[in-house]
Amino acid sequence: MNPSRFIMGLLGALVLPCGAPAQPPGAGGVSPLASRIAAAAPGDTIEVGPGTYPGRLVIDKAVRLVARPGPDRPMLDAQGYGDAVEIRAENVELRGFIIERTGSELDGENVGVRVLANGAVIQDNELRDVLFGVDCKAALRCVIRNNVIGAKDLDIARRGDAIRLWRSDGTLIEGNTIRDGRDSILWYSKGVIVRNNLAERCRYGFHLMYSNDVTIEGNTLRANSVGIYFMYSTGVTVRNNIIDRNRGPSGYGIGLKDTDAFVIENNILSGNRVGMYLDNSPVVRTNRVLIARNTIAVNDVGMQFLPSVKGNTLTGNTMLDNFEQISVLGRGDLSDNEFDLDGAGNFWGDYAGYDADHDGVGDTEYESQTLFENLMDREPKLRLLMFSPVQQAIEFVGRALPAIRPEPKFSDLYPLMRPAGATLVAPARAGGGNIWIAAAALLGVPSMIVGFAFADRLLARPAARRNCPAMGGATA
Amino acid sequence: MIAIERVTKRFGRATAVDDVSFSLAEGDSVALWGANGAGKSTIIRCVLGLLRYRGAIRVNGMDAARDGKAVRRLIGYVPQELGFYDDLSVGEAIRFFARLKGLATPRTGGVLSGVGLEGQERKRIRDLSGGMKQRLALAIALLGDPPVLILDEVTASLDACGREEFVGLLSRLADARGAAGTARTMLFASHRLEEIQSLAKRVLTLRAGRIVADEAAGEFVRGHAGGRIMRIRLEAPECAAAIDVLRESGFAARLNGVGVLVPIAESRKAEPLRILTDASIHVSDFDLMHEPGPEPHKEATP
Amino acid sequence: MIAAPLERVVRVFARPAPWWSNISAVAARELRDAVRARWFLLYTLAFAGLGLGISYISAAGSGAAGLSGYGRTTAGLINLVLLVVPLMALTAGAGSIAPDRERGMLSYLLAQSVSRWEVLLGKYLGLSLALLACICLGLGVCAGVLALTGAGTSTDARSLLWLGGLAFGLALGMLSIGMLVSVLAHKGSVATGTAVFLWLLMVFASDLGVMAGVLALRMRIETLLAVGLANPLQVFKMWSLHAIDASLDVLGSVGLYAADTYPHGLAWMFAASLAAWAVVPLVVAGLVFSRRSGV
């Protein structure tokens, strides 16, 4: 690094914040770093030292703006007004900053980092108290990597998107941690790769609109309203993601609407309201799609299909302990979907068949035809009665009286005998001690009660025994 | 101590106690005498607050209906048969009732030796004989030394031997004075002469819910010593007609399993037979018994 | 002079008794009786056994895919509680007064220095403690097995404690109804029969009625929620899910509606419903019992 630039940078960092008059937030002041960018040549690296740099930073030159390594990171503070950073030049790099306090105007789309040019690299930043996080508009081949993106503490509808791409093909979104945002949404963006991100407590973990040839892999989507939702997108690959406990009003782990030519494999979908939701996907029936080797477990509903859905192929999935394995909303069956591929079906936790020839495939087909599920599919309000004994009673009646047994929604001719899907590493048992405490408490109560019941007997007995002969003597 | 004023008790349309008034002074011992259904037990149940009634009952000045709990605190009660959770042990039962009477846990051994149950406290109630059960009930009734003792046909379910023993125990008790130096007030229902003789100072005779006689015990026993009941065996279809004609002639005839029971005075023993013969009812057999035991009983009246 | 030693002994130990003395005496006796009784042992065994089965199956099931920590045991246990606890509490309540009356024990008890309210409340207290012991024992065995096998998580621990508490709340309501039945019925067998009938009614018939209402009458969500809140079994279920999952969305639109409409008041509504079921039938039973002529 050029030493003179370094000194200037230092001066900029130390002097300017003090020297500049306190900027009223309404004014949307210019960042003190602007002068350093103005002074730099394209391709330069500007190292920024620790300190707070208030105002809006516009980067209109292809520079690398890099935080100096150290314990304190420089803060780009928009002071609650407007945007924090706007990138107008191609191939800008913004790395290692804390970017905070954008405005809160949804109409103004106040954003942490606005990208308006191709090839930007946004990396290792922490965005906090921002309305929108990173917003790419017609910016091709950008990289958004290893950022931590937070949000404003507003009502979810008044928050902005953590990441938004608009006609930004070839973007790489990788290794980011996204918390509490509204959505991370891809509009009309082709060939995007979304990899190894963590999205928590957002509305939509990732949301694709008209975005084709997108790969989403290795992400963890947890406790969002919806995990990943695809609309009008073609050629998507979703693999190796962990999609866990997304339980908003619709609560889909993965939702597909009018989406085509997709491959969904090796994901874990657990604890969602609906593990996977399919609405008119694939769009073209002949576009065979593959849903393979996913573990879909402990969701309220494993997979939910709209009645018209056809053309899916499910193979090697593990369907385990979902309150309802497969649901078809309204009336209809899934006869136009395949539940096996080349003689390999899926593993069903509630399969009651056997495998006499030990080829790993059950000898009888798996059929889903429970009466209560059928009723719930027709009338979702009946879900109120879940876990009530009446549920089992109705299932029992359904089994006992074939006449009222509903038509099977589908059948898997080659059900697997063992789970083949992706497996979760068992979570750390941090609470192992608590269960002992619970056991002790629960067993302690009855001991105390029984003790109380017999207390006077235990106390009184020896006294009585002592007194007996004495009193006998007194009577005599 | 106990004042019963114009008490009436109806069960549906049947009147069990009909406008009865009497009172017991402190230390008094009154027997209620009468056949089954005469209203003895009903009066006792009213005093204990087990039934609602019209009229007023006062015990030691307190109203039995309003202050039932306080009234019952003054009363030791022995029922005809001790009906209680019979898997309790004797000691447990004593401790339980002692707590209900507001006594701290008594030394059960002492209480039991008082009624001759010493050493039985670990026995379950279900393993006790009838007589021992009644002794236990008595021990419970005496917990806390209540000034009033109410006994409801306490010997009815005992055999002759047990009866004698139990009455002996009670009469010793009746003679004993309470710790406060005052004698216990006793009200008891009975239809046994020997009980009345050894326990009662006064006898009220009840018939159909009314008091028909109020006599000193000695007088009563004398009046009843010669009292006889004639049991007349009849063919079953003729019983109803027999009762009708006997009642027309002033006999209190009633039905019995094999015939008709007729209480008769000393000098009129032949009369019922004559009446029946006149009514052309055939008498196959008869015998005479002491009033009012249901079975013929041969013991001599003293 | 046989009474003399008797009196001496008794007088020495006489003390003024507090107001709850009779209630606690009756309660202790009732509790002891219950603990010795066959039904208690039977229900405890059934409860613990089925609970164990559920814990074992859930643990084995989720273990297969390496999934754990979702409190899956809880769902099964909710179901178990819904079946067993009402039956247990209703029959226990039904057996509290009527059989005693039939065997003449009640009139002997009431001839003592005790009020009818005291007898009723004492029995209620004793039986509720017995039920609490039974519930805790059953769930405690589950917790113990989960702890021993290492399959339990802190979620399970919390759920089990919540379940225990809420099951007790449910039991209090059912016991109260059972005791009302017992006060009204003249024979023990009638009381027990009525209790079993009520159990069937509450466990199955009311839900079937709701199903019919939804399917045939297109009941609205608010109506459904109101019906649910009036049913102690549904309240127990909803409250358990609410407390353990912090949401009701498992129950579909009605659950979501409830959670959205009453984000804060919901737990209070549940509590109010269970409390009403525990108190109202008992008070009615007490009024009937204390004003009745005869026992």
Give the gap in angstroms from C-alpha C152 to the nearest C-alpha of chain A.
6
From B99's Cα to the closest Cα of chain A, the distance in A is 11
- Please report residues of A whose CB lies closer than 8 A to that of B108: 460, 464, 467
Q: ipTM of this complex > 0.85? A: no
Please judge whether C67 and A298 are an interchain contact, meaning their C-beta atoms are less than 8 angstroms apart: yes
pLDDT score of A410: 87
> Is A160 in contact with A110 (CB distance < 8 Å)?
yes
| A388 contact residues in C (CB cutoff 8 A) | 79, 82, 203, 207, 233-234, 237
- Chain B from 107 to 136: CB within 8 A of any C CB: 107, 110-111, 113-115
Residue C257 has pLDDT above 90, yes or no: no
Say whether A375 sits in a helix, a strand or coil: helix
Say how far apart CA A429 and CA C65 lie, in whole Å. 16
pLDDT (0 to 100) of residue A183: 93
Query: How much of chain C, in percent, has pLDDT values that exceed 70?
Result: 85
Phi and psi angles of residue A386, each rounded to the nearest 5 degrees, phi first? -55, 145
Residue partners of A462: CB distance under 8 A and separation at least 6? none
- pLDDT of res. A462: 43
Asked if A237 and A266 touch (Cβ cutoff 8 Å), the reply is no
Q: Calculate Rg over the CA atoms of chain A.
A: 31
Cβ of C67 and A392 within 8 Å?
no
Mean pLDDT over residues B45-68, rounded? 90
Residues of B with CB below 8 A from C110's CB?
Answer: 48-50
> Cα Rg for chain B, rounded, in angstroms?
21
- Phi then psi for residue C38, to 5 deg, are -70, -40
Comparing CA positions, the residue from B62, B14, B71 lying closest to residue B44 is B71
Instruction: Give A287 or C49, the one with higher predicted confidence.
Output: C49
Residue with tokens 């037979």, as numbered in its chain = B273
A24: pLDDT strictly greater than 50: no
B230 with B264: CB under 8 angstroms? yes
- pLDDT tens for B18-41 read 999 999 988 888 999 887 788 888
Of A353-357, B192-196, C59-63, the poorest mean pLDDT is in: C59-63
Q: What is the DSSP string of B133-158?
A: HHHHHHHHHHTT--SEEEEESTTTTS
B287 compared with A476, residue with greater pLDDT: B287
Contact A445 C140 (CB under 8 A): yes
Question: Considering CB atoms only, which of C11, C17, C293 is closest to B52?
Answer: C293
Per the CB < 8 A criterion, the answer to whether A455 and B95 are in contact is no
CB-based contact C157 A435, cutoff 8 Å: yes
Could you tell me which residue, A90 or B208, shows the higher pLDDT?
Answer: A90
Q: Does B272 touch chain C (CB under 8 A)?
A: no
Q: Averaging pLDDT over each range in A339-353, B212-226, C152-166, which range is the top one?
A: A339-353
**Mean pLDDT value across chain B:** 81
Residues in chain B, total: 302
**B156 backbone dihedrals φ, ψ, rounded to 5°:** -60, -30
pLDDT value of position A427:
46
Structure tokens at C226: 């109101």
CA trace torsion A321, A322, A326, A329 (10° rounding)? 160
A88-97, A147-156, B14-23, B99-108: segment of lowest average pLDDT = B99-108
Residue C4 has pLDDT above 60, yes or no: no
Higher pLDDT, B197 or C241: C241
Residues of A within 8 A of C251 (CB-CB) are 383-384, 386
**B173 vs C: CB within 8 A:** yes
For residues A173 and A358, the model is more confident at: A173
| Probe site for chain C from B74, B99, B113, B136 (most C CB atoms < 10 A) | B99
Question: What pLDDT score was predicted for residue B267?
Answer: 63
- Of A43-52, A242-251, A442-451, which has the strongest mean pLDDT? A43-52
The pLDDT of residue B199 is above 90: no
Question: What's the pLDDT band for A259 if we cut at 50, 70, 90?
Answer: very high
Residues of C in contact with B82 (CB under 8 A): 108
What's the number of CA atoms in the CB half-sphere (13 Å) around residue A246?
Answer: 33
Mean pLDDT of A263-288: 88
Pick B104's closest partner by Cβ from C8, C13, C103: C13
| Burial of A240 (C-beta count, 10 Å sphere; 0-12/13-18/19+) | middle
Q: Is A473 or A334 the better-scoring residue by pLDDT?
A: A334
Q: Is the pTM of this model over 0.90?
A: no
pLDDT score at B106: 62
- CB contact under 8 Å between A471 and B92, yes or no, is no
Range C224-241 average pLDDT: 91
pLDDT tens-digit readout, C184-200: 998 899 999 999 999 99
Task: Read off the pLDDT of each residue in C62-91 and give the average, rounded to a whole number.
Answer: 72
Q: Is the pLDDT of residue A234 over 90?
A: yes
Confidence of residue A414 (pLDDT cuts 50, 70, 90): very high
**Picking from B182-186, B291-295, C169-173, which range would have the lowest pLDDT averaged per residue?**
B291-295
Tokens of C16: 């003024």
- DSSP string across chain C: -THHHHHHHHHHHB-PPPTTHHHHHHHHHHHHHHHHSHHHHHHHHHHHHHHHHHHHHHHHHHHHTT---S-HHHHHHHHHHHHHHHHHHHHHHHHHHHHHHHTTHHHHHHTSS--HHHHHHHHHHHHHHHHHHHHHHHHHHHHHHHHHHT---HHHHHHHHHHHHHHHHHHHHHHHHHHHHHHH-SSHHHHHHHHHHHHHIIIIIHHHHHHHHHHHH---HHHHHHHHHHSHHHHHHHHHHHHHHS--GGGHHHHHHHHHH-TTTHHHHHHHHHHHHHHHHHHHHHHHHHH-S--
Over range A324-341, report the average pLDDT.
85
Residue scoring higher pLDDT (A28 or A99): A99
What does the pLDDT read at residue B99?
Answer: 84
Q: How far apart are alpha carbons B248 and C110 in whole angstroms?
A: 43
Q: How many other CB atoms are there within 10 angstroms of residue C38's CB atom?
A: 7
Token duo for residue C156 = 């399970």
Indicate yes or no: CB of B106 within 8 angstroms of CB of C13.
yes
Residue contact C10–B103, C-beta within 8 A: yes
pLDDT at A3 over 70: no
Q: Which two tokens stand for residue A11?
A: 């001066």
Sole residue written with tokens 């209203």? B39
Nearest to C210 by CA among C194, C195, C197, C225: C225
A263 burial class (0-12, 13-18, 19+ CB within 10 angstroms)? middle
* Overall average pLDDT of the C96-108 stretch: 88
Token pair 């509290």: residue: C96
Q: What is the pLDDT of residues A463-476, one digit of tens each?
A: 433 333 333 333 32
In angstroms, the separation between the Cα of residue C34 and the nearest Cα of chain B is 12
- Chain A: closest CA distance from residue C285 (Å): 25
Q: So what's the pLDDT on residue A236?
A: 93
- Phi, psi dihedral angles at B146 (to 5 degrees): -70, 145
B130-142 helix and B90-100 helix, angle to the nearest 10 degrees: 30
C112/B104 CB distance under 8 A: no
Whether residue A159 contacts residue A152, with contact meaning beta carbons closer than 8 Å, is answered with yes
- Cβ distance C294 to B51 less than 8 Å, yes or no, reads yes
Chain A CB contacts of C249 below 8 Å? 247, 249, 251, 273, 300
pLDDT score for C152: 64
Chain C residues closer than 8 Å to B97 by CB:
112
Lowest mean pLDDT among A78-92, A122-136, B103-117, C72-86: B103-117
* C32, C137, C215: residue with CB nearest A379: C215
Measure in Å the smallest separation between the Cα of B110 and chain A Cα atoms.
Answer: 5
